[in-house]
């Protein structure tokens, strides 16, 4: 039963006049990038909710997806994926037009929507011809707010999702052509990217890719109703798991934050709460962050990786073999199990799920126009007479509950995406709060706060 409510904080203005697909929060700045069917990407401030820049001239069809590169100093780097089958890499110096003293790193309200010419890279990483003179290119870059640095060309049809690895060195892209490409940013000062892998195991349109928050492990979901996990082994990328529980297209995936802890008690005391948090982290340490998925089958599911070696003594345990587990051969395949199916709340396909790394809350949106918030809560354990005679603590058990529901959040329109974002706020005690940003078919982008 919902116990809180989402309040509309603001719309981002002005909106696109066409369908908006996705909104990507910047990893450090209070800004977001929204991609649209009108072939543009709009960058908005989360401080005043107004348009900062409009990026145009890079793609010939709808811009379906975008993602900010992490760990970049002094500039912002944005990857965009389009229905024209290409991926663009855009760059902008954060010091440009610096006039915002509140940490927006120079993102003024000027609109820099000039047409920049891309530096093209083919599937093999080789530069494609560019007939402009060096002087023309230098003059052009000095004048423009955004620089269309690279065009990655390899997919045969619409690009549906892009995602940067946690280090920022790898970019994963997926498309309707059933393939996933992994590109390496060579970071050589010349905007060169190299193709390091092309995976084609999916049996249909690949809808989404999402990197593990701390490891170089990639998750993908698609039209073949599967979730697949990928890792590199001996310089070659391969599938390590295939999850087939969904009964419909997997539209969206997101990872749990590495430090997320569920609501372990209604009003935990200091020492008790700390002990419960420690126990939860120890219990989850071998599995790592969980994965969440949203599907055409109208379910939201949570997945957990099974540890390759159980804590109990066995013939292959470290103690039995004398070989540390870190160097003992274990194979590359991984076993994943369904950790939870969240309470049913959607009547039509679920297009996006978002897992807050800050609060652990999950949001889902979809074709029915609803926003649903879920909270994971600890289930109090009952004393076990046998367990009381040992020092082993019983495993913490949790359940998911619906925390808030918004019907018709964007009127009659389908909601294509949801994302958690940090927002600078003059009125808050710590100068920062987390908001939920939703993106819909009518071009609107709305910012919500939980109360």
pLDDT at res. 107:
55
SS3 78: strand
The position carrying tokens 């071998």 is: 286
With left for phi above 0 and alpha for psi between -120 and 50, is residue 46 left, alpha or beta? alpha
pLDDT at res. 273:
73
Could you give the angle at the alpha carbon of 185 between the alpha carbons of 180 and 189, nearest 5°?
A: 155
> What phi and psi, each to the nearest 5 degrees, are found at residue 271?
-70, -40
Contact 172, 155 (CB under 8 A): no
- DSSP labels, 101-114: TTSSTT--S-----
Positive or negative CA dihedral for 407, 411, 416, 418?
negative
| Helix, strand, coil fractions of the chain, as percent rounded to 5 | 5, 45, 50
pLDDT at res. 265:
60
Contact 22, 66 (CB under 8 A): yes
Separation CA 328–CA 321 (nearest Å)? 9
pLDDT at res. 67:
97
pLDDT at res. 26:
95
The position carrying tokens 């209070």 is: 30
pLDDT at res. 291:
97
pLDDT at res. 281:
80
pLDDT at res. 424:
66
The position carrying tokens 């990217």 is: 193
Which residues, other chains included, contact 155 with Cβ-Cβ below 8 Å and sequence gap of 6+? 85, 86, 87, 173, 175, 177, 179, 181
The position carrying tokens 């470290």 is: 318
Please name which of 181, 182, 227 lies closest in space to residue 202, comparing C-alpha atoms.
227
Please name which of 93, 98, 69 lies closest in space to residue 145, comparing C-alpha atoms.
93
Low-confidence ranges of the chain (pLDDT < 50): 96-103, 105, 108-119, 125-133, 135-143, 310-330, 429
């Amino acid at each position: 039963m919902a116990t809180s409510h989402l309040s509309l904080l603001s719309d981002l203005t002005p909106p696109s006049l066409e369908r908006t697909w996705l909104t990507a929060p910047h990893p450090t700045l209070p800004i977001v990038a929204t991609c649209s069917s009108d072939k543009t990407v709009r960058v908005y401030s989360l401080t005043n909710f107004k348009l900062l820049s409009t990026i145009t001239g890079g793609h010939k069809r709808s811009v379906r997806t975008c993602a900010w590169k992490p760990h970049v100093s002094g500039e912002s780097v944005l990857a965009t994926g389009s229905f024209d089958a290409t991926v663009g890499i855009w760059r902008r110096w954060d010091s440009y037009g610096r006039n915002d003293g509140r940490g927006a790193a120079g993102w003024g309200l000027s609109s820099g929507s000039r047409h920049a010419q891309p530096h093209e890279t083919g599937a093999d990483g080789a530069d494609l011809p560019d007939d402009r003179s060096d002087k023309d290119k230098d003059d052009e870059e000095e004048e423009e707010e955004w620089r269309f640095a690279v065009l990655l060309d390899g997919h045969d049809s619409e690009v549906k999702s892009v995602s940067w690895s946690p280090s920022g060195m790898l970019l994963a892209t997926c498309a309707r052509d059933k393939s996933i490409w992994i590109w390496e940013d060579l970071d050589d000062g010349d905007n060169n990217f190299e193709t390091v892998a092309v995976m084609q195991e999916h049996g249909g349109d690949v809808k989404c890719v999402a990197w593990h928050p701390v490891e170089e492990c990639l998750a993908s979901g698609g039209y073949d109703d599967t979730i697949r996990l990928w890792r590199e082994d001996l310089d070659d990328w391969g599938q390590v798991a295939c999850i087939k529980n969904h009964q419909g297209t997997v539209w969206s995936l997101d990872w749990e934050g590495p430090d997320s802890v569920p609501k372990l008690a209604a009003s935990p005391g200091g020492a008790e709460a700390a002990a419960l948090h420690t126990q939860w982290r120890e219990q989850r340490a071998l599995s790592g962050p969980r994965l969440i998925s949203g599907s055409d089958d109208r379910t939201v599911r949570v997945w957990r990786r099974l540890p390759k070696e159980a804590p109990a003594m066995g013939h292959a345990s470290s103690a039995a073999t004398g070989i540390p587990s870190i160097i003992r051969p274990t194979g590359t395949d991984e076993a994943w199990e369904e950790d939870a199916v969240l309470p049913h709340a959607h009547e039509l396909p679920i297009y996006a799920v978002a897992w807050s790394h800050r609060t652990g809350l999950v949001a889902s949106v979809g074709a029915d126009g609803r926003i649903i918030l879920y909270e994971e809560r600890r289930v109090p354990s009952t004393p076990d007479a046998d367990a009381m005679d040992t020092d082993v603590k019983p495993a913490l058990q949790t359940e998911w509950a619906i925390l808030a529901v918004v019907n018709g959040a964007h009127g009659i329109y389908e909601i294509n995406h949801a994302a958690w974002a940090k927002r600078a706020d003059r009125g808050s005690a710590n100068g920062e709060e987390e908001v939920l940003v939703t993106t819909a078919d009518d071009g609107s982008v709305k910012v919500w706060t939980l109360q």
